[in-house]
Chain A
Amino acid sequence: MSEETQAKAPETSANETPQAASGPGPGSGSGPAPRSGGRPGGRPSGGPGGRGKFFRRKKVCKFCTEKIDAIPYRDVRLLQGFVAERGKIVPRRLTGVCTKHQRRLTRAIKQARNIALLPFATRH
């Protein structure tokens, strides 16, 4: 899903020079903008995250493309693809999952952790 990119001028934030480049801005959470990653300042987003010059190929959400509706906590194999080696949940800017599914995924992973299907942390 295309986020940020440019053209978010309508905000009346004082200190924003209109999208000079990416680059972590003063990190002011954009005032009234409800959209996620509206401006590149200090907000990790899909595409060029932070100060990326290279354009990351648009990762698509695996669940949206395969139309998987429910993410059950029992499906360990599915969940393991989104859990790092140490057991941490991988952020969605790396996996390309969309927000809706990331939330459900997180919930499922935490449920699975509670029932000892996934570890809380590995490599003691």
Chain B
Amino acid sequence: MSRLYEVMFIVRPDAAEEDIDKLIAGFSENVTKGGGVVKTVEKMGRRKLAYMVRKFNDGFYVLLTVEANGAVVLELERRLRVTEPVIKFITVRIDEEEKRLAKVKALRGVRRSAAVPAPAQAAAPAAVTEPAAEVAEAAEPSAV
């Protein structure tokens, strides 16, 4: 049962760029070997940390979106813990969130299309959300 996870980890700043790439490749391979899919890899670049972690003041952030089952993610976390250049990581499960967002978006889409041809039909809540939905549509890509 595949779930969607988001893994963000910080690599120490004195690691070379290709080391980071190697790390990412290693983790991705791990995931795919376990039967998961790496959806996206985003190297967020070097950022200043909000507090000192292992005597470092900045670090290299990497974000992975992974679709896999729990065991694979457990293994990935274990590796992250063990890998020396990785100084911090967090795994967030996002499939429920995505489902909820999809539902809300679908609901909004239905409301808008229903409100447009028949503005009077049961439109008390819909009409209120309709102009707001316009704003939301524009804001949506930038908000999330």
Contacts and interface: CB of A to CB of B under 8 A. Distances in A.
B132 A67 contact: yes
**A-side interface size class:** 10 to 19
Nearest to B51: A119
**B-side interface size class:** 20 to 34
A73 B91 CA distance: 12
Interface in A63-82: 65-70, 72-74
Q: Chain A's interface: helix, strand, loop or mixed, by majority? A: loop
Most A CB atoms within 10 A — which of B47, B50, B97?
Answer: B50
17 contacts: A65-B132, A66-B143, A68-B139, A68-B143, A69-B101, A70-B97, A70-B101, A74-B8, A74-B63, A113-B50, A114-B88, A115-B90, A116-B51, A116-B53, A116-B59, A119-B50, A120-B50
Interface of B: 8, 10, 47, 49-51, 53, 59, 63, 88-90, 92, 97, 100-101, 104-105, 132-133, 135-136, 139-140, 143-144
Interface of A: 65-70, 72-74, 111, 113-120
